[in-house]
Amino acid sequence: MPMINSMTGFGRVERPMLDGQLQWEIRSVNHRYLEIQMKLPDGLRSMEHDFRRLISEKVKRGKLDAVLSLTKNDNDQTVTKLNAARARQVIDQLETLARQIKNPAAVSPMAILRWPGVLEEESIDPQTVIPLAQDALEAAVTELCKSRAREGTKVQKMLAERCVDMEALINDVRTRLPSVLVEIRKKLDQRVEALQVKLDNDRLEQELAIIAQKLDVSEELDRLAAHIDEVRSTLGDDKPVGRRLDFLMQELNREANTLGSKSADSETTRQVVDLKVLIEQMREQVQNVE
């Protein structure tokens, strides 16, 4: 049986490079559509469209944050180079400032070297890691999908269990309908007797038939049962089903409200409340289904 996917998931993949480390980290939460936010190193921004396309091939709904980071190995052999232009700029600024001060203190070359941007660490060239970044992204998306599938399995089990519970309540209400009508007839007879008046039996039966028609909930019960069957059928689809499930939750809730408005006794009212609690529990979970 196909399994549904949650929109909540996480995937992280690291790949070693010759002089550093590459890492993709992807997080996803529920969202009405597919929304991808990316954070890329400057040299790889031109690849954003390709990265988005790769993700959208496997993920159809959800808000995703995808972060690619490149880090150099932390060792004593890090190569640095002098940014001569930046050093000249710092020196010029210091000389300009010194001319405005009487007896300025001398500035050592080491102080200039500590100035931000004067010494630069040799950075990783992002363009050289594009194939590795694409491969790592595919792996990270696969991890994300596995995470969403695991969460989706739990949601699917919960929804299936609630369907069984709702069917039990619907069957209880259906079974009690004849006894509810009998109880209504008994209460009506007692009221007529208390009035100490003689009513025409045909008219009494006619009024009872009108009351029974107003309280008839067989159509609502049938529609509830049909919607539950449709939920089960939808859970078996091999495509994103979140929006359809959300629609079915609305239909279930509408029928439950109508059933509650027609309730003729306290026990049926209690069962309707239990039914609506189950529907709300399902609706909360469905909000996170892809």
**pTM for this predicted structure:** 0.70
pLDDT digits (tens, 9 = 90+) for 92-150: 888 888 888 887 788 788 888 777 877 765 555 667 789 999 999 999 999 999 999 99
Is residue 76 pLDDT above 50, yes or no?
A: no
- For residues 214 and 232, membership in a common domain is answered with yes
Spell 23-58 as b/e; 16+ CB within 10 A means b. ebbbbbebeeebebebebbebbeebeeebeebbeee
Residue length of the chain: 290
Q: How far apart are CA 56 and CA 45, in angstroms?
A: 17
pLDDT confidence band for 25 (50 / 70 / 90): very high
**Residue 1 resides in a domain:** no
Cβ-based burial of 166 (10 A; exposed 0-12, middle 13-18, buried ≥19): buried
Looking at the fold, whether 15 and 95 belong to one and the same domain comes out as no
Q: Is residue 2 part of a domain?
A: no
Are 105 and 157 contained in the same domain? no
For CA atoms 115, 118, 123, 127, give the dihedral sign: positive
Q: Which domain holds residue 30?
A: 9-75+126-148
Is 109 within the bounds of a domain?
yes
Q: What is the pLDDT of residues 33-57, one digit of tens each?
A: 999 999 998 788 889 999 999 999 9
Same structural domain, 28 and 116: no
- Does 3 reside within a domain? no
Token match 């595919």: residue? 138
What CATH number corresponds to the domain at position 267? 1.20.140
pLDDT at 247 over 70: yes
Residues 70 and 157 in one domain: no
Q: In a 10 Å sphere around its CB, with 0-12 CB exposed, 13-18 middle and 19+ buried, how is residue 102 labelled?
A: exposed
What is the per-residue pLDDT across 155-197, written as a single tens digit (0 to 9) for each? 999 999 999 999 999 999 888 877 777 777 676 666 656 666 6
In a domain, 276, yes or no: yes
Tally the domains of the chain.
3
197 with 245, same domain: the answer is yes
Distance CA 129, CA 118 (A): 27
Query: Same domain, yes or no, for 194 and 258?
Result: yes
Considering only residues 290 and 83, tell me which one the structure prediction assigns the higher pLDDT.
Answer: 290
CATH code, 135: 3.30.230.70
Residues 164 and 113 grouped into a single domain:
no
249 within some domain: yes
As a whole number, the mean pLDDT across the chain is 85
Task: Please check whether residue 268 lies inside any domain of the structure.
Answer: yes
pLDDT of residue 204: 61
